[in-house]
Amino acid sequence: MKFKYIWFFIALLCTAVSFGQIKIKGTVKDKANVPIPGVNVIVKGTSTSTATDFDGNYVINVPNKSSQIEFSFVGFTSQTVSIAEKTEINIVLQESSQALDEIVVVGYAAVKKSDVTSSISSIKGKELQTMTVGNVTESLQGKVSGVQVTGQGGPGAQPRVLIRGISTVNLSTDPLYVVDGIPMGTSINFLSNNEIESMEVLKDASASAIYGSRASNGVILITTKKGKVGKARFNFDLSSGMQIMNNPYNMADAESYATIMNTAYNNSGYSDYLPNPSQYKGKTTDWWRAGIRTGTPVTNASFGVSGGSDKHTYAASINYYNSDSMYGVGGWERVTMRIANDFKFTDKFSAGITLNPRYETWGAPGNWADFDKIDPITPIYKPADQLTGLENEYSIYARSPSYIWNPVAAVKRYDDYTDQYNLNTNGYLQYEPIKGLVIRTQASVEVGDKIWSKFTPDFVIDAAHEKAEINTIERRATNNVDWTWQNTATYTKTFAEKHNASLMIGNTMEEYNGNDVWGYGEGVPNNSESMRELNAATKNRNSGGNSWSSSLMSYISRFSYNYDGKYYFTGTFRRDGSSKFMANNKWANFPSASVSWRILNEGFMEKTKDVLSDLRFRAGWGKVGNQNLPSAVYQSNIGQGFYVIDGQVVDTSYPSSMANKDIKWETVEDVSFGIDFGLWKNKLSGSLEYYQKKTHDMLFLKQFPTYSGFPGYSTMWTNVGSMQSSGIDLLISYKDKKGDFSYGADLTFTTVNVEMLSLSSDGEKLYGASNRTLTVKGEEPGYFYGYVADGLFQNQTELNSHTDEHGTKLQPYAKLGDIRFKDVNGDGKLDDKDRTKIGSPWADYTIGLNLNFGYKNFDLIANFYSSIGNDIVNQNISDLYNGASLTNKVSGLEQMAWHGEGTSNYVPRLSKDDNNENFTKFSSLYVEDGSFVRMKNLQLGYSFYNKFGLDKLRISLSGQNLWTWTNYTGVDPEVAGGDPNTGDRVKGSGFGGWNYPVQPTILMGLNVAF
């Protein structure tokens, strides 16, 4: 019985609470009397909240008459209303006439956009979430002026991001990513775009100098989503679809292949390679269909919850991304979680902690080119009469005489994967002892494990060519423990109403530690998956390991001042000390200064405010550094080698790298000038900037000269020369709304000019990409360097006249239809001195166009991106057109290639021998215009508000990379090239080939909020 009374008491209490509440209803509209759906309606000081429906209506319960309700929506000025005796409150929200009140994140602080004096571009997370990508930087393409993003294609591939060109030749060109105030290195593959609240790109040194030693390539600040005051809100986002992989080339069938090869053999004086081509009609091996999937699934999903009170806010999300490879084997899968809690214990004391565990795995075969290159006559499997019954499952495949290993068999054998586990913890404490003084300490620890495993089974497809007689197992485990500790004190004060000043001082400490162990073995008893362990290896076991550590200590400061919202000044100073340098050069200083004049706030501009909503001029200067080189380069290293002496294998040592105790920081000095404008209440707005940055004391890995007595492969890090990048950034934005119809357009335009100003000595030449690029004073770095292909010899007269002054032929082995290489220096000889500049990988300018439209519940976005003026080396030309190899060719090559006067002036004659070196000489034959225009994204969506028991339901259909216009005949014009692991990222840029293309993708999307 007593329980009945308890339940009666609880029911009575709930009834009392219910009767104590007041129901408030109303409608929220804009100044044009149009209802605004999705407006946040919050009872201040509580977690009670709701949102307006499609017609702008809301209903909410408040505790009592003294309550206040806050109405907020993006792009409008928030309003707070007291309840008093009201039961119905209708609100008209005013559009923010200035976007200048938006908060922009800068280094170690957040300020109003109107107070920014440097070159910073900001983009909201919702603009990044319109695309389904594994790396969020792909969503930046064309949306931020001054930023060039080149997609790399392939599961897990990281795009190349250049901020205002390049500032280094031999080191990484990637910007520094800072997530929630913590430097996270040069990759954000670990971060889902659904987790991002905003991104700020620090483009000039006056903005990025506060990050000093790692900011020479620019800085991208990322703010993740945090909880907001109000009831718990749940969000579910899903996009799923297919990536489309079509064969980029129309390859020859078996009959056409036989005809092409016979022509090549006949032109070189040989008999037919494959007599009677008609016998192969209808017998083509379709390697592409056998090994490459036309459509591969891609999925991006997230589920999150956020909410809280004025004392505690929280946000938690789990995100899943999966992109399969085109082979049906491997791909990239990632799971991330983010749990953020922020506490406000008192008006003076607050704290927060964020946990970010993640897991990802990746790996995929890289041989998709072989499905086009292998000849179409060889079958996939050995004929039955060639099988003995003793073969294992990897030995039943046929061998091609083209020397291309059977690609179907290679995919079948593939077992090469990487698993990575990470946990990042980021916490802060903040105290405000007096008004305006904020003391903050923030620490982050990241622990990671990466495990790489590879197994190569034994097989024999051809005893002389295609085999692995013994299987092998390899494994490497890499562990890292990194920590960062930042302490800042910021004092902000307004004096005499018009003088606004802020001073920040602080210090940071960072340490990065890692180690790895690896093992290798052979002779695993069998190829079964359960036996693929190091302990199962029976022969040639080997192991090793290493550890490394680097640290950085910094002192930072910033002073900001503005007078009456007209005149602004910001100065920063950072002093960095790095463990990578010796005592004499360990420390470096990185200052910056920027000013801004908001002329619109001058009295004489008052009459223009009906038209002008913003007009200001900016100028900035600063220095940033680069220390992104291996640890302890001031030490000499010993390499290990093996030589056979008197029939015995002898283990030897040699100096592989030499110490340079004078090595010092690479420094970039930057100056920029800009103007920001807004018209008609910022319907039309934009900015125009000119920048120039000079790099001094470039860090470079140089080989020792042979006369030094050291081996030719000995290297030493040193500081060499200087370079300069300059150009303009332009952003123009327009947005408007007419009744139920809204529309907007953003145009970005960027130019980059890069020039080497000096090298370590006059006349020095730096080669790259197997001597196919050259870097010299007065030119852009890494330009293509080779012979000029001056058309084809069309007749005997042309062939006979290509001689020196004595009548000696410059190309004695040339025949009609071969390439005529130009005697550039006119010395009557064709030699290395005739190599010259034949192209440049660097674009003259890049353009982005982003359109958005809305009508009632419909929305449509379209994003375009263009790169103009760059060249690409199409390395596939030799594979597709060269008759000297037995690989497959493009269909119709026998007609495309020169076969008589006037038939072609581009594709040389088919030749088995290629004595003229048409394809072995690196020449302008390979260089093509790499300009392109690409539709990055086209998305149509429809939203329901307050339907089906949900706050919002949006469905969408989108297509990514649907259409590309280009004259480039390679696989994909989005080519970065270069190898960042060998320091050849710049000197090897622009080389295309069988690169994994950026694929068209069709996706369905679902967004739910409740």
Report the pLDDT value the prediction gives residue 532, as an integer from 0 to 100: 92
- Tell me the mean pLDDT in the region 821-837: 93
Quick one: CA torsion of 821, 827, 830, 834, rounded to 10 degrees? -70
More confident residue, 169 or 980: 169
Report the pLDDT value the prediction gives residue 4, as an integer from 0 to 100: 47
More confident residue, 407 or 706: 407
Helices within 869-934 (DSSP H only): 876-881, 893-896
Core vs surface per residue 11-49: b (16+ CB within 10 A) or e? eeeeeeeeeeebebebbbbbeeeebbbbbbbbbeeebbb
Q: Among 148-162, 489-503, 891-905, which stretch is predicted with the lowest mean pLDDT?
A: 148-162
Query: Which strands form 783-786's sheet, in the order they lie side by side?
Result: 766-768, 773-775, 783-786, 836-839
Report the greatest alpha carbon distance in the chain: 124
Model confidence at 15, in pLDDT bands (50, 70, 90)?
very low
Q: What are the angstrom distances between the C-alpha of 504 and each of 557, 571, 979?
A: 5, 10, 40
Report the pLDDT value the prediction gives residue 638, as an integer from 0 to 100: 61
Model confidence at 718, in pLDDT bands (50, 70, 90)?
confident
Report the pLDDT value the prediction gives residue 67, as an integer from 0 to 100: 84
Report the pLDDT value the prediction gives residue 659, as an integer from 0 to 100: 66
* CA 1010/CA 237 separation, integer angstroms: 12
Helices within 486-569 (DSSP H only): none
The mean pLDDT value of the chain amounts to 87
Q: Among 51-55, 186-190, 259-263, 971-975, which stretch is predicted with the lowest mean pLDDT?
A: 51-55
Amino acid at residue number 150: T
Report the pLDDT value the prediction gives residue 460, as an integer from 0 to 100: 95
* CA 234/CA 951 separation, integer angstroms: 10
Report the pLDDT value the prediction gives residue 19, as an integer from 0 to 100: 46
pLDDT more than 90, % of the chain: 55
Residue 525 has pLDDT above 90, yes or no: yes
Closest CA to 553 of 593, 586, 514, 504: 586
* CA 536/CA 848 separation, integer angstroms: 55
606 Cβ contact list (under 8 Å, min separation 6)? none
pLDDT more than 70, % of the chain: 92
- Tell me the mean pLDDT in the region 757-786: 88
Model confidence at 982, in pLDDT bands (50, 70, 90)?
low
Tens-digit pLDDT profile for residues 481-507: 999 999 999 999 988 888 999 999 999
Closest CA to 141 of 936, 985, 728, 992: 936
Report the pLDDT value the prediction gives residue 5, as an integer from 0 to 100: 46
* CA 113/CA 590 separation, integer angstroms: 24
CA 622, chain centre distance (Å): 26
Q: CA quadruple 270, 275, 278, 281: dihedral positive or negative?
A: negative
- Tell me the mean pLDDT in the region 779-802: 94
Helices within 34-158 (DSSP H only): 125-128
Residue 709 has pLDDT above 80, yes or no: no
Model confidence at 16, in pLDDT bands (50, 70, 90)?
very low
Core vs surface per residue 538-557: b (16+ CB within 10 A) or e? eeeeeeeeeeeebebbbbbb
Please state, as a whole number, how many other Cβ atoms lie within 10 Å of the Cβ of residue 338: 25
Tens-digit pLDDT profile for residues 199-237: 888 888 888 888 887 888 888 888 888 888 888 889 999
Q: Which CATH number fits domain 103-227: 1.10.760.10, 3.40.50.720, 2.60.40.2550, 2.170.130.10?
A: 2.170.130.10
* The architecture CATH gives domain 20-93: Sandwich (2.60)
Amino acid at residue number 21: Q
Tens-digit pLDDT profile for residues 294-352: 999 999 999 999 988 888 999 999 999 999 999 989 999 999 999 999 999 988 999 99
Report the pLDDT value the prediction gives residue 613, as an integer from 0 to 100: 85
- 873 phi and psi angles, rounded to 5 deg: -85, 110
Same fold, 20-93 and 103-227: no
Q: What are the angstrom distances between the C-alpha of 923 and each of 173, 800, 837, 896, 909?
A: 27, 22, 10, 19, 16
Residue 658 has pLDDT above 50, yes or no: yes
Report the pLDDT value the prediction gives residue 979, as an integer from 0 to 100: 66
Report the pLDDT value the prediction gives residue 626, as an integer from 0 to 100: 83
Which 3-state string (H, E, C) describes 578-632?
ECCCCHHHCEEEEEEEEEEECHHHCHHHHHHCCCEEEEEEEEEEEEEEECCCCCC
Tens-digit pLDDT profile for residues 269-296: 999 999 999 999 999 999 999 999 999 9
Residue 239 has pLDDT above 90, yes or no: yes
Residue 20 has pLDDT above 80, yes or no: no
Q: Among 56-60, 582-586, 645-649, 964-968, which stretch is predicted with the lowest mean pLDDT?
A: 645-649
257 Cβ contact list (under 8 Å, min separation 6)? 274, 280, 375, 376, 377, 888, 889
Residue 710 has pLDDT above 50, yes or no: yes
Amino acid at residue number 844: D
For the chain, first and last CA: distance in Å? 40
Please state, as a whole number, how many other Cβ atoms lie within 10 Å of the Cβ of residue 91: 20
What DSSP character marks residue 378?
S
Domain regions of the chain by residue span: 20-93, 103-227
Report the pLDDT value the prediction gives residue 13, as an integer from 0 to 100: 41
* CA 234/CA 51 separation, integer angstroms: 13
* CA 848/CA 331 separation, integer angstroms: 30
Helices within 804-918 (DSSP H only): 876-881, 893-896
Model confidence at 713, in pLDDT bands (50, 70, 90)?
low
